Structure 1
Amino acid sequence: MSQFEVVRDPLWNNIHLDREALAVVDTPAVQRLRYVRQLGHAFLVYPGATHTRFEHALGAYHLARRALTQLEESGARIEPRDAQRIRLAALLHDIGHYPFSHALEEAGLPAHEGLAQRHLADGALAAALAELGVSADSLLALIRGPEGGGGEAREPLAGLVAGSLDMDKLDYLSRDAWMCGVPYGVIDVDRLLASLTLAAGRDGRPTVAVHEKGLAALESLLFAKYQMYRNVYWHHAVRSATVMFKRLVRRALADGHLRADDVAVATDDGLLQELQGRDATGLACALRERRLAKRAVDAPATDLPDDTADWPAGDPDLLERVEGRLAREVGLHPGELFLDFPAKPAMLGLDLPLVRRDGSVAQLSGGEAAAHLGLPRVAAELYRSARRLRVFTLRPAAVPEVKIIDLVCAPREDVAARLGSERALL
């Protein structure tokens, strides 16, 4: 009898699931991911973007297997139990993911990595891990990464699960581009995997590193991420659907029609049906029928100062109050205006060792990374241009762009004070 089950995948062709992976995959917590789309509302723009967290999880597992094999072939000594935990952590890295991509985290719910513990304690999944002799806590630490994990998050191989060059990124950028039918997410995955090695990190302990021969492939990863944010993840119609959905969820939570605990275990269609059944405003129906809010303001982040406040992305309660006041000031009804300035991702968020051809080790991080990679000076501006400040409205309205920019640039405390004093925002 074969030790593997072969799954056909449109991106990686054959994915070989070993006995341990099969035991984990065949649990309700993992099967739920079949019904959680990877890109949320992006399918409203790119019809092919209906792929799910489930196939992405299989892809991350597949790449983790390949990476471990490459590291062993390059001379790294990897204990079988360590390899097992890395493979399973890659498979389960999105186990706590909400429906509709990251929209619910933007709405103020806890980050999905923090919910992984609940799913890892699921009866069938917990039993499967116990049968395999794998500690759920050790997997949780790997999934949460260095900022939220324990000792396991700092072990040499942890960067394959949560790091600058983790298998999650390699799969989702490649898979999202493939399923959307766009040429933007082209990454030289084979070259990147072939350049993986272990080297001393900042603290002197061994960690996942990249050999100098893989720099061109690493550049392809960075630019793929930028292009996917600019053209797919932050496409104006995707963001319009996202802000409408966030409004629905926050309203349902505030009214007591929805509990955060229920959202954490829901599926895309199940949650949308629940929202539509409770929504008296017609917003859920408009979202399902793709009657999206239109742009009244659309300004690149390059038009804003570098030190612009991030309260629109970091304070959903204040944002909702601001949206209500703005709607009134431009002649709209409450709930007809949405302000969107998504949190800036770490586009050049590299922090890993670079092994030069002479064997010396340099640290790739921040501007130092850009210098080593030979990225043009304009790279930072390109990444800023991917991020846009937008105002969407359900009915036509004149919204002054300059005053919106001034408002977003104001400190959180000043904005809150203006709301409290009834001073006009525009």
Structure 2
Amino acid sequence: MLVPRDFEVVRDPLWNNIRLDGAALDVLDSEPFQRLRYIRQLGHAFLVYPGATHTRFEHALGAYHLAGRALGLLAERGELADLPAEEATLVRLAALLHDVGHYPFSHALEEAGLLSHEALAAEHLAHPELCRALDRLGVPRAADRIAQLIRGQSHSPLAGLISGSLDLDKIDYLTRDARMCGVPYGTVDVDRLLHSTTLVTLADGRRTVGVHEKGASALESLTFAKYQMYRNVYWHHAVRSATAMFKRLVRTAIARGQLDAAWISRTTDEALMERLRQLPDTPLAARLRRRRLYKRLADLPATEVPAQGGEWIAGDPELVAQVEDRLAEELHLEPAAILLDFPAKPEMVAIDLPLMTRRGVIEPAQSALEAVADALHRNARCLRVFGAEARELDPHTVVALAELTAAEVREALNAGTALLER
């Protein structure tokens, strides 16, 4: 007979000791959650930052820990007194499970057109081992309610702790990623932010997560840390080169029927790379293994690209692949020898959160960063062309290509018009 476990303590390099209760331990032991041990948090960033080998597993533990701290502070102030105890339980487990649907190699495959990891969460929550763990809670529809929290579809007053401007996921990953990469960015005033978190009642009567005016500067530290990490780590040119190579490699394998998207959603980093290396005609896999990354042929800050230019590069991977092959042909290179990259994160420094003033009035949180949000986003973004071999590429030609709409690009491809002579 198994003896129920009350709790365990896990040592963490960021938060020191993380206490896991019995429900969390049941989740932890499930196959879907253990898979996260083998999915690196930052994908191919370890090719640039050797310390970036931390995984979704420890990040999930960190988010769970922060959820416990935030809920504990709210409870101390009596703000949870009129909520069922199960609400807090589900929020903590949602923090623990928020990445359970994640693909291998960070967000690269979502950029490549596969379903978001939030959309896949319900599928993983339906795994028999997780179902049994959640059933032991005795909470009606626990798995469904956790999935709603993860997808941002929950009406719980505590939902903002899982998805929103203040979600605890961001606090952990920014702090953890900076620590593991060894960079002096990503600094967040965590204690001030958690102590300033409160439940507020909106004009329509809904209760939701907000922040006290005293924590406004801490909230800005979170949003600015996000900008710094995107500019210096997540969108580092070599990280983006490896990501572009990986996306093209996987999309090609799926198009050829060599890989199944459903299988990818259940596998791990190394299992996926091993499968890719075994496939015929996959030189990109060998190059990634040996860190023979494509070089920059063009590197243009988004400030040099028209405001709405190039959005098809960020949002239409199928069209991008066609353009890449046409460009490779015009440069007398093999298919897939040219790759385009223009990452997007328009909500990078956005704040959508109610703020409680010292007078007790509820207002939209205002940040000095919001006035320059678009400028910060454009400053962090770069339109890049990567190549397997060095080639001369006129930056003005790249800008001219980015100025085209998706419809104009398709028209040029269908007409056989040279893309580099526009």
**Which range, TM-score by smaller chain?**
over 0.9
Aligned to 1:93: 98
Secondary structure of 2:54's aligned partner: coil
2:382 to 385, 388, 393: 388
In structure 2, C-alpha distance between the alignment counterparts of 1:245 and 1:333, rounded to whole Å: 17
The 8 Å contact of residues 94 and 149 in structure 2, kept in 1 or not, is answered as yes
The answer on whether the counterparts of 1:41 and 1:242 sit within 8 Å (CA) in structure 2 is: yes
Q: CA deviation at 1:5?
A: 0.5
Which residue in 2 is equivalent to 1:68? Answer: 71
The residue aligned with 1:143 is 150
Q: Corresponding residue for 1:240?
A: 241
Do the aligned partners of 1:107 and 1:246 also contact (CA within 8 Å) in 2? yes
Matched, 1:208 2:202: no
Over 3 Å counting, the alpha-carbon distance change for 1:350 and 1:358 in structure 2 is same
Matched, 1:10 2:13: yes
Per-residue CA deviations over 1:319-347 (Å, capped at 9, x if unaligned) read: 00000001111222211000001122411
Q: What is aligned with 1:35?
A: 38
Deviates most, 70-79 or 245-254: 70-79
Q: Secondary structure at the match of 2:355?
A: strand
Partner of 2:407: 413
Equivalent residue for 2:254? 253
* Partner SS state of residue 296, structure 1: strand
TM-superposed CA distance for 1:379, in Å, is: 5.2
Query: Equivalents in 2 of 1:204, 1:197: separation in Å?
Result: 16
User: How far apart, in 2, do the equivalents of 1:130 and 1:290 lie?
Assistant: 45
Structure 2 equivalent of residue 103 of structure 1: 108
Q: Which residue of 2 aligns with 1:125?
A: 130
Task: Determine whether 1:48 maps to 2:51.
Answer: yes
User: Cα distance, 1:348 vs. partner?
Assistant: 2.1
Deviation at 1:309, TM superposition (A): 4.4
Is contact 1:39-1:100 (8 Å) kept? yes
1:301 paired to 2:302:
yes
Alpha-carbon distance in 2 for matches of 1:386, 1:131: 46
RMSD, matched Cα: 1.4
Post-superposition CA distance 1:3-27 (Å, at most 9, x none): 3210000000000000110011110
Distance between the aligned counterparts of 2:370 and 2:318, measured in 1? 39
- Shift in alpha-carbon separation, 1:31–1:345, aligned structure 2, 3 A: farther
1:371-382 pair list within 5 angstroms: 373-375=367-369, 378=372, 380-382=374-376
Residue matched to 1:423? 417
- CA–CA distance in structure 2, aligned partners of residues 336 and 307 of structure 1: 27
Matches of 1:329 and 1:399 in 2, distance apart?
A: 11
- 1:116 is matched with which residue: 118, 121, 125? 121
Shift of 1:408: 1.4
- Asked whether the equivalents of residues 310 and 342 of structure 2 are also in contact (C-alpha less than 8 Å), the reply is no
1:26 aligns with 2:29: yes
Report which stretch shifted further, 309-318 or 166-175.
309-318
CA contact 1:313–1:342 (8 Å) conserved in 2:
yes
Aligned 8 A contact 2:325 2:338 in 1? yes
What is the rounded CA distance, in whole Å, between the counterparts of 1:409 and 1:171 in structure 2? 37
In structure 2, list runs of 5 or more residues that go unmatched: none
> Is contact 2:103–2:117 with CA below 8 Å preserved after alignment?
yes
1:92-136 deviation digits (Å, cap 9, x = unpaired): 000000000001111111111111111101111111111222421
2:129 counterpart letter in structure 1? A
CA contact (8 A) 2:249 2:282 kept: no
The amino acid of 2:186's aligned partner reads: G
Whichever residue aligns with residue 354 of structure 2, its letter is P
Moved more, 388-397 or 273-282: 273-282
The one-letter code matched in structure 2 to 1:53 is R
Query: What's the CA shift for 1:300?
Result: 0.5
Check 1:399–1:5 CA distance in 2 against 1; reply closer, same or farther (3 A cut).
Answer: same
- Distance in 2 (CA, whole Å) between partners of 1:313 and 1:307 is 11
CA–CA distance in structure 1, aligned partners of residues 258 and 310 of structure 2:
33
Matched position secondary structure for 1:414: helix
Query: Quick one: which amino acid aligns to residue 360 of structure 2?
Result: G
SS for the counterpart of 1:193 is helix
CA contact (8 A) 1:331 1:397 kept: no
Question: Within 2, Cα distance between the matches of 1:67 and 1:360?
Answer: 22
Q: Which residue of 1 aligns with 2:84?
A: 79
CA contact (8 A) 2:349 2:369 kept: no
- Residue 419 of structure 2 aligns to a residue whose secondary structure is coil
Q: Which runs of 5+ in 1 are unaligned?
A: none
Work out the CA distance in 1 between the residues paired with 2:202 and 2:150.
20
1:349–1:376 Cα change, 3 Å: closer
Q: Judge conservation of contact 1:200–1:353 (CA < 8 Å) in 2.
A: no
Post-superposition Cα deviations, 1:186-208, rounded to whole Å, max 9, x if no partner, equal: 10000000000011347441100
Normalising by structure 2, what TM-score?
A: 0.95
2:218 paired residue number: 217
Contact 2:350/2:370 (<8 A) preserved? no
1:74/1:197 contact within 8 Å kept: no
Counterpart amino acid of residue 68 in structure 1? L
Partners in 2 of 1:2 and 1:251 — Cα distance?
47
Alignment partners' CA distance in 2, 1:129 and 1:376: 40
Percent of aligned positions with the same letter in both sequences? 59
Please tell me whether the aligned partners of residues 201 and 352 of structure 1 are also in contact (alpha carbons under 8 angstroms). no
1:402 aligns with 2:396: yes
